[in-house]
C-alpha cells in the first residue's frame, strides 16, 4: 500500500485555509490528541474548520488523496471516537449559530453550540433541550447528536434520534444536503440517484426480514448506541428521513453534521427531588422497577402527560457517594460501626445505595400528589432513613450537581498515574436487580475494589468507573479479561446493550457484531458503504478489524512533577496570621492538577480555548513534558515541546481561574501557569531582579508609568486616532505594548477627603485603597465623565455619609497581583503583607470596612489577607451604601461586564442587581466571560483580548448600548477597545443615578 501523501494534501489545503487554521507542530497535534476518553492518538494534521463551504472543500481534498479524517466538537467523548492519527477536523468555536423556531417548539443548531447553552436559550420560553448528558455543560450539539448521548431524563423516548426533525449534512464527496429543504432534496435526488436507490433498497431488505426488524425494535426499546443506528430503516419511509436519523449515533463515520433542527420539550414549572437511601443495591433496583410501573408508557408520558410522575431515578453506589463526600454516607459509616444499622456488620459500607429521583408537574397540587404516590411505593422498602422531597432549587440543584460530577470526581480520587475509565451498559428493566448484582460482583472479582457503579437506573442504564493503570502488560490483560467478561454478562446472559449512550468508539468496536449478530452487523456495513464508500471517515471507530483494538493506544496520565525545591519560600515574607504563602498554595494547586482526568469540562470557561490551547491541553502537555523529563527517551521532542509551549501555553494563558468554576475537581490551571512562570523567572535573573526593583520602588514606578501615559496622550493629541493607531501598531509588531484609543491619561495622587458625620455625630468610616492602576491611570480621551475613579469613589462614599481613610504610604503599596501574574510569588506575598499591615492600621485593627476599587486586586487580597473584612465596590455599595441612597434609574441603555474575579467571588448577581437599580435598560452580553486583558496581556498580546471579546461589539450595536460599566480599569480598556463604546467603573453609574437620603 502506497504511503499517504500528507505533503500534497497540505499543499492543496493551504490554497484556501489560513495557516492559523492548520496545526502540524508537535505541541498542538499532541494537545489535540487528548479527549475525555482513555485512548490517545496524535493527529498528523489538525484543522480548525470555519463554515460549511470551507469544510466541504477540506473533505474533497481528503477524498482526492484518500486521507482518513475525524470530526471533533468539544472532545468530551469517552470511547475514543474523537481522536485520530491522521487528520482531525475541529468544528467547535466557529460553529455556534442557532435559530429559535415556532416559539421554542423547535430549535436549529450548529454543532459547536454547547448543550447547556441551548437550555439557557430555551429557558425564557419554558422549554428544554431533550438530550441531557451529565456533560451537557461542556459537550457540544454535534457530539451530543453524533453519539446519541442521552442522560438522566431523556431516556429512549426523548433522545436525539426521537427528537430530530431534520439535518444538514456534508457527505464524503463534499456534497451538502439539507433534509429539511425540499429544494436541497430535489437537487440531491438528481445528483445522487444511486445513493437514494441504495438507501431505499437497504430499507426494504431490512423490513422484509421480519426477525431482523423485530430484533431492531427490541434492541432500541432500551438505550443502545452500539454500532450504527438501524432504527431509521424500520421507522421511516422517506430516504431523507432515514439519512438524517442514521446520523444520530454515527460518531462521525457517515458524514459531517453541519446543522440539526430538534424538537424541544416542555419545562415543567413545579419540580421536586429526593435522595433515597437503601441498604442494598438489589433493593434499590427493585424499588426502581416498582417506580417504573407507575407509568404505562414513557414515550406517551413525555409527549402528552400534564405531570411527570417519575421523571428520572439515578443510582449512586457507596463508592460514588464516598467520592463526593456525601454527608449521609459519612453518617452511615458511623452508624454501621456503632451497630446502629440492623443486619449490617461494622466496616461493611458497600450496601448503601442512593437513588436520586425527580418528579414534575404543571401545578403544585399535582406535584404533591406525585410525591405522595412515590412515597407510598418507597414505604414498601427498608430504607436507611426516611425520604423527603425538596422543591428548593438550591437544595436539589446540589443533588443533581453531585450526580453530574460523579465521573470526574471519582476520577479525581484515583491513584496518581492511573487512568480513569468509564464503561456504559444497559439492561431491560425487568432484569435490573439480578443484572446489577452480577455486574457488581464481576467487577469486584477482577480486583477493581475501588470501582463504582452509578447511572440512569430508571432507563436500565449503568456506568461503572475503573481506576486503571496501563503501565504493565498484566494490568492491560486484567482490563481486557474484565471487559470480555462484561460482554458475556451483558449480551449472552441478558441481551442488553454494551454501549447505552457513550458511543461505540474504539472501545466497543470489536464487540458490535457479537451484540447484534451477523445479519444486523452486515446491514451496518452496507449503510457505512453507502455513505462512505472509501472508508475515510473516522476509521477504527464502530468498524475495526482488530479484535484487540480496545486495548491499543491506551492513554496513561503521568504525574506532573516540578522542582519545587528551587522556588523561594514566600512564607518568610508573611506574618504568622497569614499562614501559607501564595507559593505554597500554588504548589498545592498544581498537585491538585494531577487529579485531572482530561474530561474537558474546564474548556467552556477557558478564554484561550479555540485561539491557542485550553486548560485541559496545558495539563496534558505538561504531563508529557514531565514524562519525557523522567524517562529521558526523546530529548529532542522534549526541547521542542518546551519551546513551542511558550506562546500558546504560557503567554496566552489568562490565568483567570475560571476554568476551576466548571471543573468538578476545582482545578485552577492558572496555578500551573504561575508555577511555570516562576520556574522560568528563576532562570531569568535579570527579569527577577527587575521585579524586585519594581517592588522596592513602587512609588517611582507609578510616576514612570504616569510619564509614559503623558507621552502617549501627547502623541494622541498631535497625531489623532487614526495616525496614532497606525504608528503604534507598527511599534507593537516590533515588540512594544499595543496602544489603543481607549488608553487612559495619567492621574495623580488623590487628596484626603473631608470628614463626613452622621446626624448623631458618630463618624462612618471606610478605608479605601485605590489600586495601583487607578492611582496612575485616569480617563481616556473623550470620556463622558470628568472625575477619576478615585474621585468618583470618594464622592459616592461621601454622599452616603462616609469618611474615607486612605492607608499611609499607599503610593508605595500594592496587593501583589502584578508579581503573582508574572510568577514572582515570593515578591507578591511580601507586597501583600506590607499592604495588609497598612490597612490593618488604617482600619484600626479591623474596626472599619476596607474597600479596593479593582476587583482582581481585591480578589488577590481576599486570598492572602486574614485580618479584616474586604469589600469589592459592588459588594460595599450593596451592603453599606444602598440604604443610605435614593436611586433614580436612568433610561440610558447600558452594558455590564462581570469580571472573572467578580464571578469567582460569587458577586455576579449582586452586580447585576445593582445595575438594574440604576438603569431600566441593562444588557449583560451573552457569551462574554473573561475579557482576557489579564493585567497587561491586553497590551502585550491583544489577540487574546480580541478573541475573548469577539462576540461583544455585535451585541452592543444591536442593543444600541451607550456606555458600559465594570469594576476593573484594565478590563475596561479592553472592553472599550473591542466594543466601540466607553466603559467605566460602576461607581460612576451609581453616583450619577443616586442622591443622599
Helix axes 669-682, 615-631, angle to 10 degrees: 50
Question: H-type helices in 52-105, by residue range?
Answer: 52-65
How does pLDDT run across 810-847, given as a tens digit for each residue? Answer: 888 999 998 888 888 888 888 999 999 999 999 999 99
What grid cell was written down for 677? Answer: 512562570
How does pLDDT run across 114-157, given as a tens digit for each residue? Answer: 999 999 999 999 999 999 998 999 999 999 999 999 988 888 88
Evaluate the CA torsion angle 528, 530, 535, 536 in order and state its sign: negative
Is residue 498 within 8 Å of residue 508, measured between CB atoms?
Answer: yes
Neighbours of 69 (CB within 10 A): 25
Collapse the DSSP code of 765 into the 3-class scheme (helix H, G, I; strand E, B; otherwise coil) and give the result. Answer: strand
Give the pLDDT confidence score for residue 814 in this predicted structure.
92
Give the pLDDT confidence score for residue 750 in this predicted structure.
53
Q: Which residues pair with 923 in a beta bridge?
A: 895
Task: Tell me which residue has cell 490551547.
Answer: 613
**Which of 166-175, 679-688, 750-759, 855-864 has the least mean pLDDT?**
750-759
pLDDT band at 300 (very low <50, low <70, confident <90, very high): very low
Give the pLDDT confidence score for residue 579 in this predicted structure.
42
Is residue 778 within 8 Å of residue 745, measured between CB atoms?
Answer: yes
At residue 305, does pLDDT exceed 70?
no
As a whole number, mean pLDDT of residues 929-958 equals 95
What b/e string do you get for 197-230 counting C-beta neighbours within 10 Å, with b at 16 or more? ebbeebbeebeeeeebeebbeebbebbbbbbbbb
* Cα–Cα distance measured from residue 637 to residue 736, given in angstroms and rounded to the nearest whole number: 31
Burial status of residue 845 (CB atoms within 10 A of its CB: 0-12, 13-18, 19 or more): exposed
As a whole number, mean pLDDT of residues 861-887 equals 94
At residue 759, does pLDDT exceed 70?
no
Give the pLDDT confidence score for residue 244 in this predicted structure.
98
As a whole number, mean pLDDT of residues 694-698 equals 79
Q: What distance, in Å, lies between the first and last C-alpha atoms of the chain?
A: 85
* Cα–Cα distance measured from residue 79 to residue 483, given in angstroms and rounded to the nearest whole number: 13
How does pLDDT run across 518-533, given as a tens digit for each residue? Answer: 999 999 999 999 999 9
**Which of 442-451, 489-498, 709-718 has the least mean pLDDT?**
709-718
Tell me the pLDDT of the chain averaged across its residues: 91
Pairing status of strand 87-90 against strand 45-48: parallel
* Cα–Cα distance measured from residue 738 to residue 938, given in angstroms and rounded to the nearest whole number: 8
DSSP 446-489: TT-TT-EEEE-GGGTEEEEEEEE--SSHHHHHHHHHHHHHHHII
Sequence-ordered list of residues with C-beta below 8 angstroms from that of 661, at least 6 positions apart, any chain:
605, 903, 904
At residue 754, does pLDDT exceed 70?
no
* Cα–Cα distance measured from residue 783 to residue 392, given in angstroms and rounded to the nearest whole number: 46
Sequence-ordered list of residues with C-beta below 8 angstroms from that of 977, at least 6 positions apart, any chain:
740, 741, 742, 938, 942, 945
**Which of 151-160, 615-624, 740-749, 945-954 has the least mean pLDDT?**
740-749
In percent, the amount of the chain with pLDDT more than 90 equals 72
Give the pLDDT confidence score for residue 702 in this predicted structure.
74
Give the pLDDT confidence score for residue 573 in this predicted structure.
41
At residue 302, does pLDDT exceed 60?
no
* Cα–Cα distance measured from residue 267 to residue 279, given in angstroms and rounded to the nearest whole number: 33
* Cα–Cα distance measured from residue 437 to residue 441, given in angstroms and rounded to the nearest whole number: 6
Locate the domains of the chain by residue range.
Answer: 270-502, 564-683, 721-996
At residue 68, does pLDDT exceed 90?
yes
* Measured CA distances, 819 to 104, 678, 681 (Å): 49, 10, 11
At residue 257, does pLDDT exceed 70?
yes
Give the pLDDT confidence score for residue 581 in this predicted structure.
66
Q: Which residues pair with 178 in a beta bridge?
A: 168
Name the pTM for this structure.
Answer: 0.92
Helix (H) or strand (E) holding 48, with range, is strand 45-48
State the number of CA atoms in the 13 A half-sphere of 563 facing the CB. 10
Q: Which residues pair with 706 in a beta bridge?
A: none
How does pLDDT run across 161-196, given as a tens digit for each residue? Answer: 999 999 999 999 999 999 999 999 999 999 999 999
Fold for domain 564-683? Fumarate Reductase Iron-sulfur Protein; Chain B, domain 2 (1.10.1060)
DSSP 114: B
Q: Was domain 270-502 assigned CATH 3.40.30.10?
A: no
Task: Tell me which residue has cell 434609574.
Answer: 889
Q: Which residues pair with 177 in a beta bridge?
A: 169
Closest C-alpha among 93, 50, 87, 52 to residue 71:
87
Task: Tell me which residue has cell 481534498.
Answer: 61
* Cα–Cα distance measured from residue 604 to residue 610, given in angstroms and rounded to the nearest whole number: 10
DSSP count for the chain of H helices, then E strands: 41, 29
Give the pLDDT confidence score for residue 715 in this predicted structure.
75
Amino acid at each position: 500500500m502506497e504511503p499517504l501523501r500528507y505533503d500534497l494534501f497540505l499543499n492543496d489545503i493551504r490554497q484556501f485555509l489560513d495557516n492559523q487554521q492548520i496545526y502540524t507542530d508537535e505541541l498542538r497535534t499532541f494537545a489535540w490528541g487528548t479527549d475525555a476518553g482513555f485512548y490517545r492518538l496524535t493527529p498528523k494534521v489538525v484543522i480548525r474548520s470555519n463554515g460549511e463551504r470551507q469544510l466541504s472543500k477540506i473533505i474533497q481534498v481528503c477524498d482526492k488523496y484518500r486521507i482518513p479524517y475525524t470530526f471533533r466538537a468539544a472532545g468530551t467523548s469517552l470511547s475514543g471516537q474523537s481522536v485520530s492519527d491522521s487528520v482531525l477536523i475541529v468544528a467547535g468555536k466557529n460553529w455556534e449559530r442557532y435559530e429559535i423556531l415556532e416559539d421554542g417548539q423547535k430549535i436549529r443548531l450548529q454543532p459547536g453550540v454547547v448543550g447547556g447553552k441551548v437550555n439557557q436559550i430555551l429557558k425564557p420560553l419554558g422549554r428544554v433541550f431533550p438530550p441531557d448528558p451529565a456533560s451537557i455543560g461542556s459537550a457540544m450539539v454535534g457530539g451530543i447528536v453524533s453519539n446519541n448521548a442521552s442522560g438522566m431524563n431523556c431516556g429512549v423516548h426523548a433522545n436525539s434520534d426521537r427528537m430530530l426533525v431534520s439535518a444538514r449534512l456534508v457527505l464524503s464527496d463534499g456534497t451538502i444536503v439539507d433534509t429539511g429543504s425540499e429544494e436541497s432534496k430535489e437537487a440531491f435526488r438528481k445528483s445522487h440517484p444511486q445513493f437514494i436507490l441504495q438507501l431505499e433498497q437497504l430499507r426494504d431488505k431490512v423490513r422484509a426480514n421480519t426477525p431482523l426488524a423485530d430484533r431492531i425494535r427490541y434492541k432500541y426499546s432500551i438505550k443502545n448506541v452500539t454500532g450504527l443506528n438501524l432504527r431509521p430503516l424500520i421507522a421511516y419511509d422517506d430516504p431523507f428521513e432515514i439519512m438524517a436519523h442514521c446520523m444520530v449515533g454515527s460518531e462521525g463515520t457517515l458524514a459531517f453534521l453541519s446543522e440539526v433542527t430538534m424538537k424541544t420539550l416542555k419545562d415543567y414549572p413545579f419540580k421536586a427531588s429526593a435522595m433515597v437511601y437503601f441498604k442494598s443495591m438489589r433493593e434499590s433496583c427493585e424499588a426502581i422497577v416498582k417506580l417504573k410501573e407507575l407509568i404505562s408508557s414513557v414515550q406517551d408520558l413525555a409527549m402528552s402527560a400534564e405531570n411527570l410522575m417519575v421523571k428520572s431515578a439515578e443510582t449512586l453506589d457507596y463508592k460514588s457517594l464516598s467520592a463526593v463526600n456525601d454527608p449521609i454516607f459519612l453518617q452511615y459509616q458511623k452508624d454501621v460501626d456503632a451497630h446502629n444499622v440492623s443486619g449490617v456488620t461494622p466496616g461493611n459500607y458497600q450496601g448503601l445505595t442512593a437513588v436520586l429521583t425527580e418528579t414534575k408537574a404543571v401545578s403544585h397540587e399535582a406535584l404533591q400528589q406525585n410525591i405522595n404516590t412515590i412515597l407510598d411505593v418507597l414505604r414498601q422498602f427498608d430504607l436507611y432513613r426516611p425520604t423527603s422531597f425538596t422543591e428548593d432549587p438550591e437544595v436539589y440543584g446540589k443533588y443533581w450537581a453531585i450526580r453530574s460530577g460523579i465521573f470526574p470526581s471519582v476520577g479525581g480520587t484515583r491513584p496518581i498515574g492511573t487512568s480513569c475509565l468509564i464503561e456504559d451498559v444497559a439492561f431491560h428493566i425487568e432484569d435490573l436487580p439480578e443484572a446489577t448484582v452480577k455486574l457488581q460482583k464481576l467487577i469486584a472479582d477482577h480486583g477493581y475494589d475501588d470501582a463504582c457503579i452509578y447511572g440512569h437506573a430508571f432507563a436500565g442504564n449503568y456506568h461503572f468507573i475503573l481506576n486503571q493503570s496501563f503501565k504493565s502488560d498484566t494490568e492491560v490483560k486484567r482490563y481486557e479479561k474484565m471487559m470480555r467478561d462484561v460482554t458475556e454478562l451483558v449480551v449472552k446472559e441478558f441481551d442488553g446493550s454494551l454501549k447505552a449512550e457513550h458511543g461505540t468508539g474504539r472501545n466497543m468496536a470489536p464487540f458490535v457484531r457479537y451484540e447484534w449478530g451477523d445479519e444486523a452487523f452486515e446491514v451496518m456495513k452496507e449503510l457505512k458503504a453507502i455513505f462512505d464508500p472509501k472508508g475515510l471517515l473516522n476509521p477504527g471507530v464502530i468498524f475495526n478489524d482488530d479484535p484487540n483494538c480496545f486495548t491499543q493506544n491506551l492513554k496513561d496520565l503521568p504525574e506532573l512533577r516540578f522542582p519545587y525545591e528551587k522556588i523561594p519560600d514566600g512564607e518568610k515574607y508573611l506574618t504568622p496570621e497569614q499562614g501559607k504563602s501564595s507559593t505554597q498554595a500554588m504548589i498545592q494547586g498544581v498537585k491538585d492538577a494531577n487529579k485531572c482526568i482530561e474530561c474537558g469540562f474546564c474548556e467552556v470557561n477557558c478564554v484561550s480555548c479555540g485561539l491557542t490551547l485550553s486548560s485541559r491541553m496545558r495539563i496534558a502537555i505538561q504531563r508529557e513534558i514531565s514524562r519525557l523529563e523522567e524517562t529521558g527517551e526523546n530529548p529532542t521532542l522534549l526541547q521542542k515541546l518546551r519551546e513551542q509551549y511558550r506562546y500558546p501555553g504560557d503567554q496566552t494563558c489568562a490565568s483567570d481561574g475560571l476554568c476551576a468554576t466548571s471543573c468538578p475537581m476545582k482545578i485552577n490551571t492558572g496555578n500551573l501557569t504561575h508555577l511555570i512562570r516562576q520556574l522560568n523567572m528563576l532562570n531569568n535573573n535579570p527579569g527577577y531582579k527587575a521585579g524586585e526593583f519594581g517592588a522596592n520602588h513602587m512609588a517611582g514606578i507609578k510616576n514612570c508609568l504616569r510619564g509614559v501615559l503623558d507621552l502617549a496622550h501627547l502623541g494622541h493629541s498631535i497625531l489623532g486616532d487614526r495616525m496614532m493607531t497606525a504608528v503604534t501598531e507598527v511599534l507593537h509588531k516590533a515588540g512594544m505594548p499595543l496602544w489603543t484609543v481607549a488608553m487612559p491619561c495619567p492621574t495623580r495622587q488623590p487628596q484626603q477627603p473631608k470628614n463626613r458625620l452622621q446626624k448623631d455625630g458618630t463618624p462612618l468610616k471606610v478605608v479605601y485603597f485605590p489600586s495601583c492602576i487607578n492611582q496612575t491611570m485616569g480617563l481616556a480621551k473623550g470620556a463622558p465623565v470628568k472625575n477619576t475613579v478615585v474621585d468618583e469613589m470618594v464622592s459616592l462614599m461621601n454622599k452616603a455619609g462616609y469618611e474615607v481613610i486612605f492607608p499611609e504610604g499607599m503610593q508605595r503599596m500594592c496587593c501583589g497581583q502584578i508579581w503573582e501574574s508574572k510568577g514572582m510569588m515570593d515578591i507578591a506575598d511580601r507586597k501583600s503583607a506590607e499592604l495588609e499591615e497598612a490597612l490593618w492600621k488604617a482600619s484600626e485593627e479591623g474596626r472599619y470596612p476596607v474597600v479596593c476599587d479593582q476587583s482582581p486586586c481585591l480578589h488577590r487580597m481576599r486570598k492572602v489577607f486574614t485580618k479584616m473584612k474586604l469589600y469589592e465596590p459592588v459588594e460595599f455599595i450593596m451592603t453599606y451604601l444602598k440604604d443610605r441612597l435614593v436611586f433614580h434609574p436612568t433610561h440610558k441603555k447600558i452594558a455590564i461586564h462581570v469580571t472573572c474575579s467578580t464571578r469567582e467571588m460569587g458577586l455576579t448577581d449582586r452586580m447585576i442587581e445593582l445595575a438594574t437599580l440604576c438603569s431600566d435598560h441593562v444588557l449583560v452580553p451573552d457569551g462574554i466571560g473573561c475579557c482576557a486583558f489579564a493585567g497587561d496581556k491586553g497590551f502585550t498580546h491583544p489577540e487574546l483580548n480580541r478573541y475573548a471579546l469577539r462576540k461583544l461589539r455585535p451585541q452592543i450595536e444591536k442593543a444600541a448600548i451607550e456606555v458600559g460599566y465594570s469594576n476593573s480599569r484594565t478590563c475596561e480598556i479592553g472592553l472599550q477597545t473591542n466594543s466601540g463604546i466607553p466603559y467605566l467603573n460602576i461607581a460612576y453609574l451609581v453616583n450619577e443615578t443616586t442622591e443622599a437620603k
